[in-house]
């Protein structure tokens, strides 16, 4: 099972920027995610074609199960 944390932010040009963290911990709390997003905004370390990140929009933990088949 793969877990990906997806954090969505608003940008100064009115767009949404998504940052993904692969192999995220299973025991993440909303408080931890929120404070991490606040830190990303405060440090202004990411930018995109949509401009600087200005606010939090949403966050979600996506779980994917992959089943492989042996085709021998």
Q: What is the mean pLDDT of residues 49-71?
A: 93
> What is the percentage of the chain residues whose pLDDT exceeds 90?
81
CB atoms within 10 A of CB 42: 9
17-51, pLDDT tens digit by residue?
Answer: 999 999 999 899 999 999 999 999 999 988 788 88
What ranges do the domains of the chain cover? 2-64
**At 25, phi and psi to the nearest 5?**
-65, 145
What is residue 48's predicted lDDT score, i.e. its pLDDT? 81
Place of tokens 């911990």: 25
* 17 DSSP β-pair partners: 9
Q: Are 53 and 41 contacting, i.e. CB atoms less than 8 angstroms apart?
A: yes
Q: Are 67 and 11 contacting, i.e. CB atoms less than 8 angstroms apart?
A: no
- In the predicted model, what is the mean pLDDT of the chain? 93
User: pTM value?
Assistant: 0.84
């Amino acid at each position: 099972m793969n877990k990906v944390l997806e954090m969505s932010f608003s940008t100064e040009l009115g767009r949404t920027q998504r940052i993904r963290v692969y192999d995220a911990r299973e025991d993440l709390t909303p408080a931890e995610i929120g404070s991490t997003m606040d830190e990303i905004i405060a440090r202004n370390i990411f930018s995109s074609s949509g401009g600087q990140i200005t606010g939090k929009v949403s966050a979600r933990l996506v779980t994917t199960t992959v089943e492989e088949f042996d085709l021998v």
